[in-house]
Structure 1
């Protein structure tokens, strides 16, 4: 997955199940696979509704922990360092992580450990179901590694479940009850429905439609921007009549970005039709372009050219 590419899952909950889960204090939980395992609650949300979108990008931080213990929140004992796939980082004899540099497998993150016994860990950036972007732990090695090299391989798959009395960043070593795994290694989005206590893929084409790209902007900026910062700024403006619209931003090289406004995945047929009708209005297109311009200004950049096209 290239830098800036967004993956998302849309979690829909049937009305009766929503009532039952809420009244019993269950939280909607997400975990991300690393090295073929799930062992940290990436996000735990109490404020979920009937339709919830959770998304992420391949933006990581590496750290070391002194311990792994189930039902305890992660504690990063070392400094945390930003790292990407295909990078390596050295933990020196004093227990300090240096800056990342290229090296190791291109789909993994490599830790060179000169310190001694340590539990390697990873945090990752995500946008929660309320549209807030955060970086939180996704993995801690259950067994410490000694001096040498360790390879951490994030996988574009998430586990989703409901659980009581659990918070973000909690470690776990046992299987989660009634969890569903969603594999996004070959696709960018997926939808799951929780109904009558069971997970399924929505199949009724009259109720659910595939998300469509409505507006695309190509902007040549006066300076480079951090993709996730731009996504966060624009997303914060997608409220009210634009609540069923999401934004995806990709880098086209240099300081040029592509901004795509899309329907939220998994919309019902009625909500999808309403969103598409809204975005046929030139005023709405102008407003979405304006959201991008406002976000550029908030990030301290201008634009040289800006081209918009509609579906």
Structure 2
């Protein structure tokens, strides 16, 4: 189940609008399109600033829920499993969701339902406006399915809006007020400006530099692993002085994986300076390589070959 490219959106807010939104307890909300709809708050942030970055990779987990109800939080009723586009997973008659395997349309995720009435759902991995990574629900089917197969089609498009009294993982069935859809199906980054209560596309800013690739690791593992699990194990260790680095994990075929350590997008000022200074430390390659090795160990795999290539 190969992972795709990193995607990110930059949300800029005019200072006057920022004050109005904060004074009235509005939250900055994101949702991801699945099956041509948005119906779950992927992330909801209250401590946003004038410039905010939200990023993700197409790393999914499939689950089943007993219900869909607007304005309440998603309840994951089954176990969940890592899954990718072109994969399928069986929900057996006991209600156990089994590990994913290749099967189904290549641009969709398939649940093979042997259990009975269930609402299929998806969670996805993201990095919020504070740089914290997590996996939270992005979709629950509004109508339950019966025995048979159901396909879920996540699309690289997000919806952004401001709303009061709403939390991450809240389901909704009504259109959100003054929401902006951002299509990233053909690009990896996009920006929007919220000013005067309206959305627009800002001109490119010279304040930001493109995120640099710090280190690329190519490793042939002793067994196949879930790219999602490897990503989360590595990301959980990118804290402290490493908090402004991010990891991108892709498959090179077979049991070979590529891990790219990159700067977080849109770093400026002291954070960018500190990150660039850290890259001059000759120990950094060993330290980031050690993070990857620890992640391999957590997944109970070793490696037969590994290259660490600075700056590639």
- CA 76–275 in structure 1, closer or farther in 2 if over 3 Å, else same: closer
Tell me, yes or no, if structure 1 residue 72 matches structure 2 residue 72. yes
Of 212, 215, 235, the residue aligned with 2:210 is 212
Correspondence list, 1:108-127, <5 A: 108-127=108-127
Aligned counterpart, 1:296: 292
- CA 51–199 in structure 1, closer or farther in 2 if over 3 Å, else same: same
Correspondence list, 1:270-309, <5 A: 271=268, 275=272, 279=276, 284=280, 286=282, 289=285, 292-293=288-289, 295-296=291-292, 298-299=294-295, 300=297, 304-309=306-311
> Quick check: 2:231–2:248 contact (8 Å CA) kept in 1?
no
Q: What is the number of residues matched between the two proteins?
A: 299
Q: Per the alignment, in what secondary structure is the counterpart of residue 295 of structure 1?
A: helix
Q: CA deviation at 1:47?
A: 1.3
C-alpha offsets along residues 250-302 of structure 1, whole Å, 9 cap, x if unaligned? 4445455342534624x6xxx489948973x6864647546524523543589
Distance 1:272 1:192 in 2: 21
Aligned counterpart, 1:163: 163
C-alpha offsets along residues 28-72 of structure 1, whole Å, 9 cap, x if unaligned? 111010000000001111111112111111221111112111101
Distance 1:116 1:247 in 2: 39
C-alpha offsets along residues 131-171 of structure 1, whole Å, 9 cap, x if unaligned? 22211111111111122211100111110111100011110
> Quick check: 2:217–2:289 contact (8 Å CA) kept in 1?
no
Correspondence list, 1:171-186, <5 A: 171-186=171-186
Distance 1:278 1:74 in 2: 37
Aligned counterpart, 1:134: 134
Tell me, yes or no, if structure 1 residue 237 matches structure 2 residue 238. no
Which 10-residue stretch deviates more, 247-256 or 135-144? 247-256
> Quick check: 2:234–2:247 contact (8 Å CA) kept in 1?
no
Aligned counterpart, 1:15: 15
- CA 289–101 in structure 1, closer or farther in 2 if over 3 Å, else same: same
Distance 1:22 1:151 in 2: 39
Q: Per the alignment, in what secondary structure is the counterpart of residue 27 of structure 1?
A: strand
- CA 251–163 in structure 1, closer or farther in 2 if over 3 Å, else same: same
